[in-house]
Structure 1
Amino acid sequence: MTDMSPDKTVLIAFLSGALLATLFLAAALYWKDGHLSTRLQTALGLLVFGLVIGLLLRPPHIIITYGLVMLGITLVSGSQYLIIGLPECLKQGLPALGRLVASLMLPLLSLALMPLAPGELSSLVVLIVALEFGSQGLDMWAMQEGETNISWAKRHILIPVALLLLLLGCVFYGLKSAVPVFLWITTGLCICYTVANIRIYWRAACRTHNLLKEHGTSK
């Protein structure tokens, strides 16, 4: 927002409106429940912090401050997953470690190749990362709920195909020419995989809805 409006008008107006709306929501919830959830308190704190930074600092410093805060939150959150999850993964042996590596392969490889890609293709990297982590959430849900788990397709089909195409592209055309093709194909594969996962989720949701409807009718 500071790039589009160097005088900070848009940023301050947006944050002020968001803070005002959140305050009204907090007041209503407090009147109803008598307390505020931790998430709502955190949201209020971040909005106040963002607004104060927007009012006090110049646009270049605002961008740096926001970026550092986001980086800090990401590192703290990620470190918790690493501290708790990695030892458990190692306890389960090589198969679990292999699944962990497979889950990170396409996002990290896409990010690593991003500097070699044309600037207009950087959005594909963001899309790949978003689709990958979104589909992994659906994979975890499917495993926990006993639904069809298609994560094997990623490990045995999607990742090998993407890596093979990147390797062949590097051999015949060079790395710089192979990267855009790799990003486009990987994006397509990730979209197909995510759509398949969404279909599984949708079918399960419809099945649950029908069961609840039949149960309500029987009463």
Structure 2
Amino acid sequence: MLYVNIRKTLPYFGLDVTFEVGNEIVVLFGSSGAGKTTILNSVAGLVQPDAGLIQLHETVFFETNKKPLPTRKRRLGYLFQDYALFPHMTVEKNISYGIKGKPDGDRQAFLSQLLSILGIRHLLPKYPHQISGGEKQRVALARALAGKPDVLLLDEPLSALDAGTRRQCQDELLDLHRLWQIPVLLVTHDEQEAQKLGNRILEIEQGRIAGTKSIVGAN
């Protein structure tokens, strides 16, 4: 269970949200500038709230007046909107980045399964400039999951894709979540995508949760 309670003063409004995420996909939905990515970055440790509590299971990420847990120790996967692949690394090295030590048998089997589901095994020797946008998205998702994180953060990961590739990647994301049940926090301003991917949708308006919607029969 991921527990999020964040209070932070932003240039045009105050961010003040409280919610929980179980082994489900929770969507932060709303217009640009509403505070969605700030919430994600606070969970990741890239932004420090003014006050509150962020906790995953028994591990405290952030608590008021205490030293926050560094990002590298938070056991999370983060898929950025621009994918942030390393251009000088092959697909294989991009995916392996961040895995500590030599992968054991279980990790090798996990990575093999990941590559099969995403259909990117044939891309391993290529570089980011040699692959398409949809392929980059799959590689970035594989990298975010390769470390077997305890929570997955997705910031508009499909927004740059064409409609057909976007639907395919949505299906792959749902397949992965069914296999590896972890808390997923996803940011989007696309209502159709929110309805398809989310178990719950939190509507964010000017740093507040303006509404909550549970999706019946989701995923």
Q: Pick the TM interval, shorter chain.
A: under 0.3
Point out the structure with the larger strand share.
2
Higher RCO, 1 vs 2 (CA within 8 Å, ≥6 residues apart): 2
TM-score norm. by structure 1 comes to 0.26
Point out the structure with the larger helix share.
1
Larger radius of gyration: 1
TM-score norm. by structure 2 comes to 0.26
